[in-house]
């Protein structure tokens, strides 16, 4: 399980966009978004660096 803090997510559409962007690279990834805390928990074979790149490219800057 990897945790990213992601800015700019405001609604279910953003949640879906982040989830889909990750699942395009790893179809079996599970993604859990908490909009209130901007925390995204990801269970995936992808590296942390890859996940940060994917989420950032989807339009949501990653804090750490």
Task: Return the residues of window 22-51 that contact Cu ion according to CB under 5 A.
Answer: none
Could you tell me which residues come within 8 angstroms of residue 38 by beta carbon, excluding any fewer than 6 positions away? 5, 6, 7, 9, 63
Taking the chain, what is the end-to-end CA distance rounded to the nearest angstrom?
15
CB of 13 to Cu ion, least distance (A): 4
Q: Does 10 bind Cu ion (CB under 5 A)?
A: yes
Q: Where does this chain touch Cu ion (CB under 5 A) — which range of 13-21, 24-32, 40-48, 50-58?
A: 13-21
* Residue among 2, 14, 35, 50 that touches Cu ion (CB under 5 A): 14
Stretch in the footprint of Cu ion (CB under 5 A) among 5-13, 20-28, 30-38, 39-47: 5-13
| Angular region, 63: left φ>0, alpha ψ -120 to 50, beta rest | alpha
């Amino acid at each position: 399980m990897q945790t990213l803090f992601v800015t700019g997510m405001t609604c279910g559409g953003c949640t879906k966009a982040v989830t889909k962007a990750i699942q395009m690279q790893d179809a079996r990834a599970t993604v859990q978004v908490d909009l209130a805390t901007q925390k995204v928990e990801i269970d995936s074979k992808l590296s942390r660096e890859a996940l940060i790149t994917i989420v950032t490219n989807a339009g949501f800057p990653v804090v750490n």
